[in-house]
Amino acid sequence: MVARHDLTTDPQLLEGLLQARRGTAFFARKLNELSDAELDGDSLLPGWTRRHVAAHIGYNARAIARLVEWAATGVETPMYASTEVRNHEISFGATLSPIALRNLFDHSAVHLNVEWRDLPADAWQHKVKTAQGRIVPAEETVWMRTREVWVHAVDLDNGATFSDIPEPILERLLNDITGAWAARGTDKNLVGRVTSRQQEQAFGDTAAVSPLEISGPLADMACWATGRATAGVTASREGKHVTPVPPAPAWI
């Protein structure tokens, strides 16, 4: 007998699952608004059409479902056999017929959701390995998927913006990215300021003497930090405007 509801009762995890499901529904809406012909159009990602984005999100759900299955069974099943296999899969997916591409997205999203729903409460702490080689508890898969569906919904270039992404997700996203910069030391002489919070939030090389300062509201700062666009963000050094706004350090 298959459960019709999540087996976990952890409130934080249930909230995370809700955000992942909302993001999936949001991506579905932006995808479904596009006609078959419009799928051939460019996405916001260099070299990728909207077909590539849709294929990537479909295969991403399958890859994440493999991690959830790993947590459930203890049998190691990596996200992807290799980076080449992942990239090849996306290029292949982009050539599918529109109906097959849409089915790939729909079915993979349903499958992942079933895997999450049926994962026993204790198995959410079982360790799995991400494509980047990080060892994480299975509950991290919820955030991994959340990030993908929300950000790539914007990449479909069909009217969605970072302002459509819920604030807690933008905050966590910005934390992830700036944490990666700090770990790699790529934020030297760079200070970011989020100006839309009650209390201004700063990150980066806050001890630098004359850093490049990038500031803007949360959604625009997150958009800039992911390497997408610079609208709504200003740059300055020692009080003088810097134009154009320099690109953010690489994220992934």
52 or 126, CB closer to Zn ion?
Answer: 52
> Minimum CB separation from Zn ion for residue 46, in Å?
13
> Minimum CB separation from Zn ion for residue 166, in Å?
18
> Minimum CB separation from Zn ion for residue 56, in Å?
6
Site string for Zn ion, 174-213 (x = CB under 5 A): ----------------------------------------
Site string for Zn ion, 121-150 (x = CB under 5 A): ---------------------------x--
Nearest residue to 191 via CA among 232, 251, 246, 151: 246
Q: Cα(169)–Cα(19) distance, rounded to whole angstroms? A: 8
> Minimum CB separation from Zn ion for residue 69, in Å?
20
Please work out the total of residues on this chain that contact Zn ion, with binding judged by CB under 5 A: 1
Q: How far is CA 192 from CA 73, 176, 202, 212, in A?
A: 43, 14, 6, 8
115 or 148, CB closer to Zn ion?
Answer: 148
User: Which residue ranges make up the site for Zn ion (CB under 5 A)?
Assistant: 148
